[in-house]
Amino acid sequence: MIPFASQRGGGGDLATHLQNEADNEQVEIAHIRGAVAHDLHGAFAEWELQAHCLTKCQKYLYSLSINPWTKVNGQMSRDQYMDYIDRVEQKLGLKNQPRAVVFHIKEGREHAHVVWSRIDAEQGKAVQLSFDREKLMKVTREFARDHDLILPDGYEPDQKEKNKQNSLYEQHQQNQTGRTKEERMTEITQAWRRADSAKGFVNALADMGYILAQGDRPYVVVDLHGHTSALPRMIDDKSVRARDVAAFLKYDYPSELLPTVDEARDIAAKQRAEFKQHSDLEKWAKKYEDLKQAHRERRKPLEAEGPKLAERIAREKAALIQKQDAEGKFLEQKIASEEQAIADKRARFNPQGLAAFLGRVSGVEFARKKLHEYQDKKRHAGQAKEFEALSNAHKRETRLQQRVHQALEHDIERRLKNLAKVEAREISALDAKFKREQSRDIQKQFEGSEALNIREHFREAAGQVRGGREESTGGARDKPDLAAQFEKAAGANQEKARTEAEGKKDLPNLTAEFDKASGADQEDGDTGGDDDNAPSHDNNRSSRPRRSRRPRRGRDRGR
């Protein structure tokens, strides 16, 4: 028992995936609960509408995949599946929530998918799913204990190692190459341990179909099919770090001079084109034709519903018109009979002869006439209301019938549109299978003895690109002759010093000239007494600038 669960949105895409019959030998929709529609697309659309109208929840679905460990425990029964599903929804708080259960048979192995709606329509909020993985693990252990099942490693609480699963990219790489991640890590690790030099290691990688390149990380490997993996992570040795790999390769294969991932993929694509295609095209053409025929057969019942629905709509419209006409005629006959009865009654009580004369003279006839007019007016108003009520009822019935018919027509269009999505997904899945078989065939040819020339191209791929880059950058890896440059620089410095020494001989000795001039002045006595022409301090006292003192404001104000 291996469960996988996630909270997600995108109900339409999930419904298309669950109904894909190209990847599964059999698809069975066991039941749908809590939805008006009887198909997955319609049910998931209803739950999405509830999420958008009642809450702000984006991941309104909780999807659970139940995979039995058939190699050890065998196949599970439907009762066991439903028991596990009931336990999960009870533990996670999803009891009585809308759900759908789908069973798949893929490569002879049956597994189940359960999708719950997280939206509680009565409360108007989404069900909170905290620590759902821990709860799933606990439910799985209890279920395995009650049904005497064996669990894989990592499901017991005392086991520290977790059950590691491949990512989607790694699973795609495994499907395309036919080799698991563990197998690829094993061969790269062996090449690392056997290599005595960087060149030998890169050549060993090339023999296995890998090109050393630079990407987001300094050193990555690109395989024959263009898939990229970080080289340090592909070495299954905890003592080997990324810096160890970089130190081992950086001298002979600097990362900045390696081909980029795109360049390595182009090289791999050119080499793949040289392999012969051994796929049986007639077999695959027959598969495509069989799939299209299955699509046509699956469409027939749904397309046949269109004419049947048109006949039903025409029949119901005619029946409604006939019913409304009958009701209108019945009301007219009823009103006519009432009018006739009133007229007959008035005729029986109509006075004759002297009574009529006295009635006219006394004004009784006038009063009776006014009374009859009032009664007729009131009765006619009631009859008009009856006609109006009947007309409004007929309009409501017609609108309701039109909406029902439009909903039925829209339902067929919706199912045809969703079926087209499923068909497109199935064709895409068949294309992926065809490409996967081609890739595996290329991988087998590469591993064979006929691909020696291709492996040589892989060996030379990194070196060719490195050489081209060195030429374009003017020889980035050329080492300078440091000794010659040092001797040249030393000789230039000596020549410069000699030139400066010769130039100094032509310059006058300013210090000696200054001392000589000073001695001549002392002999003339110019430095002995005061100069008669020097200005007097007393005479120039008035010319000195006086210091201006700012008055103290406080003292001045006090005075």
Q: How many CB atoms lie within 10 A of CB 1?
A: 21
Q: Which residue has the tokens 């309104």?
A: 60
In contact, 104 and 113? CB cutoff 8 Å = yes
Look-up: residue for tokens 């336990």?
87
**Residues of 439-450 as b/e, b for ≥16 C-beta within 10 angstroms?**
bbbbbebbeeee
Nearest alpha-carbon partner for 76 in 111, 41, 128, 28: 111
2-165: in CATH 3.30.930.30: yes
- Helix (H) or strand (E) run with residue 230 in it: strand 228-230
Query: Phi, psi at residue 385, to the nearest 5°?
Result: -65, -40
Residue-by-residue DSSP string for 306-317: HHHHHHHHHHHH
Write down the residue that tokens 């009823």 correspond to.
334
Count of residues making up the chain: 559
Range 74-81, long-range pairs (CB < 8 A, 24+ positions): 75/110, 76/1, 76/110, 80/147, 81/112
DSSP class of 23: S
Buried b (16+ CB within 10 A) or exposed e, 27-57: bebeebebbeeebbbbbbbbbbebbeebbeb
Domain boundaries along the sequence of the chain: 2-165, 169-273, 281-449
Local confidence pLDDT in tens for the 559 residues of the chain:
788 899 999 999 999 999 998 888 899 999 999 999 999 999 999 999 999 999 999 999 999 999 888 777 888 899 999 999 999 999 999 999 999 999 999 888 899 999 999 999 999 999 999 899 999 999 999 998 898 888 877 666 555 444 455 666 777 777 777 778 888 889 889 989 888 888 888 888 888 888 888 888 778 988 888 888 888 888 988 888 888 888 888 888 888 888 888 888 888 888 777 776 655 678 888 888 999 999 999 999 999 999 999 999 999 999 999 999 999 999 999 999 999 999 998 888 888 888 888 888 888 888 988 999 999 999 999 999 999 999 999 999 999 999 999 999 999 999 999 999 999 999 998 888 888 887 777 777 777 655 555 556 666 665 544 444 444 444 434 444 444 554 555 555 555 555 555 554 444 555 555 556 555 444 444 444 444 444 444 444 444 445 545 555 544 444 4
The closest alpha carbon to 220, from 280, 260, 269, belongs to 260
Instruction: Give pTM, 2 decimals.
Output: 0.65
C-alpha span between 268 and 458 (Å, rounded): 8
